[in-house]
């Protein structure tokens, strides 16, 4: 019985993770472009050294990750489970005797792991990135 639970858990994650990854990529690109547009004068200035442009680009990434990771998890879960429901896979899983809690556990574990990652990015990466942005802005002056 444990083997079946493990198979179902891995199947659920294999359904959700691609949608999570695509949502994370799409949301990250959109938010990065929005954040980078605030610094367009730095990005498109001819007399700014390229290392400052790269520093600014890297400094914008933690803010983007902090916002997009939880939203991508939500989108990936909704799309993945909706697809499974539309294909009647969830009905078949429930009919085989698997409860809702056992279906939810792998998704909750993935969500907790990604929440911990986003927490660490918010705790360590965002303040470091903010200081890097201030440093780039002061060198530009």
Per-state percent for the chain, helix, strand, coil, to nearest 5: 90, 0, 10
- How is residue 1 annotated by DSSP? -
| Most distant CA atoms of the chain, gap in Å | 66
Mean of pLDDT over the chain = 88
Which residue in 76, 84, 79, 65 sits closest to 21, CA to CA?
76
Can you give the pTM of this predicted structure?
Answer: 0.83
- How many angstroms separate the Cα of 58 from the Cα of each of 49, 52, 130? 15, 10, 11
The C-alpha atoms of residue 137 and residue 141 are separated, in whole angstroms, by 7
Task: Give tens-digit pLDDT for 76-93.
Answer: 999 999 999 999 999 999
Domain boundaries, the chain: 2-140
Q: How many CA atoms lie within 13 A of 133 on its CB side?
A: 18
Task: Give the range among 2-16, 46-60, 116-130 with minimum mean pLDDT.
Answer: 46-60
Written as six digits, the tokens of 27 are 């949301």
């Amino acid at each position: 019985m444990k083997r079946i639970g493990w198979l179902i858990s891995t199947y659920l994650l294999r359904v959700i993770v691609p949608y999570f990854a695509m949502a994370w990529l799409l949301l990250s690109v959109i938010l990065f472009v929005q954040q980078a547009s605030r610094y367009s004068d730095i990005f498109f200035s001819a007399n700014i050294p390229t290392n400052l442009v790269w520093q600014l680009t890297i400094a914008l990434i933690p803010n983007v990750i902090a916002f997009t990771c939880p939203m991508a998890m939500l989108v990936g879960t909704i799309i993945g489970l909706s697809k499974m429901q539309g294909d009647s896979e969830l009905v078949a899983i429930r009919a085989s005797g698997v409860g809702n809690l056992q279906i939810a556990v792998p998704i909750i574990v993935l969500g907790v792991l990604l929440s911990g990652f986003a927490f660490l990015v918010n705790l360590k990466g965002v303040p470091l990135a903010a200081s890097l942005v201030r440093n780039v802005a002061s060198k530009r002056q």
